[in-house]
Structure 1
Amino acid sequence: MRLFRSLTLLLALVAPMALADDLYQVEMILVRQNAEPPILSRTAPEDWAAGAQHLRPESQRTPALGPIVDKLGASGNYSVLLHRAWQQTLGETPVKVALSDGPEQFGQFPIEGTLALTLGRFTDVQANFWINQIDGNGLVTRSEHLQQQSHTKNGQLNYLDNGHLALLIKITSLTAPAPRPAPTEVAD
């Protein structure tokens, strides 16, 4: 009986830690592949950010992948459309974030989209972005659309290809211990 009580107490202490969300840094780069012809889609919906959280200014971070952005731009093969970095908690429940760039006109932006992240063995990413052409009246006349779903490995730069548009994303834990270095010598 004492063993059962001790086990119950141990589970009560460990269970909240297992269910708690952890803090992560997310950095994403949305690019257009210049060699591919643009694929026009239906125009972006007016409710493009439905159910998504907007990034708070205090959660935004200085991007660390600036050298990669510089290389992409210098190659001439890519146009960098959006580059953002922020921190957020991730867990088993999807967290959907709204991202945009450019002047807002009637709730639409030249670049707008959502990124939904779910933490598991890998991080599940659902990206949904529109690159819009907006006329002088503020109406979206044409859109390019990236819709991609992928399992990504944390701590590594992941490439999500969607034809002429692509997304580079890196998700790094801010609370997990750093991995131990590999041993330099193997014991006999």
Structure 2
Amino acid sequence: MRALRPLTLLPLLMLCLLTSNAALAERLYHVEVIVFRQAAEPISAGQLPPDNWAQNALPIDSNNLRSTALNAEAGKLNPANGYQVLLHQAWAQNIGNTSSSVAIQTGFEHFGHHPIEGTVSLREDRLIELQSDIWVNQFDDSGTLNDSERIKQTTRLKSGELTFVDNGSLGMLVRVNPL
């Protein structure tokens, strides 16, 4: 009977090991995104964003906001150079081997939509996989959504490297650094 007693603890020990491995699989990263308009004429997405544009992405709360580090790069994206920065935001996000999504937005809300809104999903394998779905919305004087531009793209990032995502009249700079 005494020989069986250590075996009863084995499932508990295995559960503890599996739980600790799952916690180690996710790491905290500093994510920074700049969305900007290029000199080209806006290219309509041909559709408006859905009312559930954030889907199941978590909003970035004040505890996760971080200071921006790409200020020099954002400064070069000015009208004199043919660009306009639409959103520049940084936050802390846990990234693991399953996709982690956050909802980003800026500007005043009109009937459930913001001038800039979308989701950024990140997943880490050997490289970091980025899935972006960002809407740049135009409203009329009454606040009704008229038209939208969209960046919907999947790309792979190297940790710490600045990556450019091009989408016609819109562009995005992204950097993901471990914290």
TM-score band by shorter chain is: 0.7 to 0.9
Identify the match of residue 42 of structure 2 among 12, 25, 38.
Answer: 38
Structure 1 residues without counterparts, runs of 5 or longer: 1-10, 175-188
The code of the aligned residue for 1:125 comes to L
Match of residue 171, structure 2, among 166, 181, 184: 166
Report whether the alignment pairs 1:105 with 2:115: no
Contact kept? 1:44, 1:140, Cα under 8 Å: no
Partner SS for 1:58:
coil
Q: SS where residue 68 of structure 1 aligns? A: helix
Q: Which consecutive segments of 4 or more residues in structure 1 shift more than 2 A?
A: 11-20
3-state SS in 2 of match to 1:57: coil
Which residue in the other structure is 1:19 paired with? 22
Give the 3-state SS of the residue equivalent to 2:78 in structure 1: helix
The answer on 1:47 being equivalent to 2:64 is no
Question: What is the deviation of 1:136?
Answer: 2.8
The 3-state SS of whatever aligns with 1:87 is strand
SS at match of 2:77: helix
The equivalent of 1:152 in structure 2 is: 157
Q: Which amino acid aligns with 1:40?
A: S
Q: TM-score, normalised by structure 1?
A: 0.81
SS of structure 2 residue aligned to 1:70: helix
Deviation at 1:117, TM superposition (A): 0.6
When the two chains are superposed, the root-mean-square deviation of aligned CA atoms in Å is 2.2
Structure 2 gap ranges (5+): 1-13
Matches within 5 A, 1:76-115: 76-115=81-120
- How far off is 1:167 after superposition? 1.0
Matched letter for residue 97 of structure 1: V
Task: Report the CA distance between 1:14 and its aligned residue.
Answer: 6.8
Residue 129 of structure 2, aligned match among 120, 124, 129:
124
Query: Structure 2 vs 1, CA of residues 124 and 136 (structure 1 numbering), >3 Å: closer, same or farther?
Result: same
Are the structure 2 counterparts of residues 78 and 141 from structure 1 closer, same or farther at C-alpha, using a change threshold of 3 Å? same
For residue 11 of structure 2, what is the aligned residue in structure 1?
none
Q: How far off is 1:138 after superposition?
A: 2.3
The Cα shift of 1:135 comes to: 1.8
